[in-house]
Amino acid sequence: MKLTLVVGARPNFMKVASLINATKEFENIQFTLVHTGQHYDKNLNEVFFEDLEIPKPDINLEVGSGSQAFQTAEIMVKFELFLRTHETDFVIVVGDINSSMACAIVAKKMNFRLAHIEAGLESGDREMPEEINRLIIDAIADYYFATTKYAVDNLLKRGISSNKIFLVGNTMIDSLIRSLPKIRPSEHQSKITKEYILLTLHRPSNVDSFEKLNSILKVIEDSTLDNLQIVFPLHPRTLKKISDQYLENDKFVILEPLRYLEFLFLIKNAKLIITDSGGIQEETTYLKKPCLTLRNSTERPETCSQGTNILIGDDYQLIKQHVLEIISGNEKKGSDIEFWDGNTGQRIIKTLKEILDLEKG
């Protein structure tokens, strides 16, 4: 069986690592790893391949940054050229980034079998570019691998036939479980001298406006008592808008984007996490760490209904209230989510093999 795996940006690498590891347990599987080059900075990129112990991409389309349309179009043109001379049984896209959407459209128009890992997620917020990406991929995919029952139900509601949907669990959690024994502090660990809140922000809705970003940081600063620090690894998008007052502020430990194993170390040891990321909502739920999510909606509602996640929305005053509750030991207790057990990659590869065997008779 020949697989084409597409990656483009940071959160893709953990998901694809789970699949690559799983292929080792089966015979006669070859994969080609295509990197679109959406993320190109070393610390958003190469170091993840090292930490996840996955091979370098076979090809890098080197599209880089640009507007939503520019980035998508560049990826489509280059991926089409690549697929013209490439044989594969399945094109596999993961998650909801521009690269996944662009490559899904190209693959399907060239009549390749298209599998979507993390299918069926939906936040209802069409102002998020990722929501548009998810809906488009799910409108055209052939096979849907879902992380939760909620995602399966979304797909069924949209009229997708149940024999194309597979509830397999979470590839991101596969990589988390596999990496936990290897987590380690970063070289900046000595800057962290107290218990801390781990903060990550990169969604355009939170960081593209200078006023909005800095008003969020002000509330977080005011919610943090003197016995706590705020550890804040900065995404390049966020670095462009952050005010100098937070770059030189005693409460904040500002870091560059961290390696995967170093970031997991920070999550594991944080008092709580404040984020707008998708993947971190899942990682904190698995690790049963309190998480406040600075968004109005989530495409991962189980992290709130079953896990440790709380949606804050626009009422930032809630941040202070929740931080105080968590610090005083009154935190939300989460429970385990079905199939988030470290074996999702194996279930996906096994299913793909069965699909192919059935089709080829």
Please count the CA atoms within 13 angstroms of the CA of 126 that sit on its side-chain side. 2
Please state, in angstroms and rounded to a whole number, the distance separating the CA atoms of residues 291 and 128.
21
Q: In terms of CB distance, is 8 or 334 closer to ligand UD1?
A: 8
Beta strands (DSSP E) in 190-347 are 195-200, 228-233, 252-255, 272-275, 291-293, 309-311
The CB-of-258 to ligand UD1 minimum distance in angstroms stands at: 12
Residue 65 or 305 with smaller CB distance to ligand UD1:
65
Determine which one of 116, 202, 235, 322 is catalytic. Answer: 202
Q: Is 35 a catalytic residue?
A: no
The answer to whether 301 and 319 are in contact (CB under 8 A) is no
Q: How many CB atoms lie within 10 A of CB 190?
A: 8
- Give me the 96-135 binding string for ligand UD1, x by CB under 6 A, dash otherwise: xxx------------------------------xx-----
The whole-angstrom separation of Cα 157 and Cα 212 is: 36
- Which is nearest to 277 in space by CA: 10, 98, 6? 10
| Nearest distance, CB of residue 28 and ligand UD1, angstroms | 33
Q: Where does this chain touch ligand UD1 (CB under 6 A) — which range of 94-102, 263-271, 297-305, 332-340? A: 94-102
Q: In terms of CB distance, is 136 or 228 closer to ligand UD1?
A: 136
Q: In angstroms, how far is CA 223 from the centroid of its own chain?
A: 27
Interface size with ligand UD1, residues (CB under 6 A): 18
Residue 202 engages ligand UD1 in binding (rule: CB under 6 A) = yes
Binding mask 203-242 for ligand UD1 (x = CB under 6 A): --------------------------------xxx-----
298: which residues sit within 8 A by CB, 6+ positions away?
123, 278, 281, 304, 309, 311
CA dist 228 and 234 (Å) reads 19
Residues 237-266 that bind ligand UD1 (CB under 6 A): 237
| Binding interface with ligand UD1 (CB under 6 A) | 9-11, 38-41, 44, 65, 96-98, 129-130, 202, 235-237
Active site residues: 202
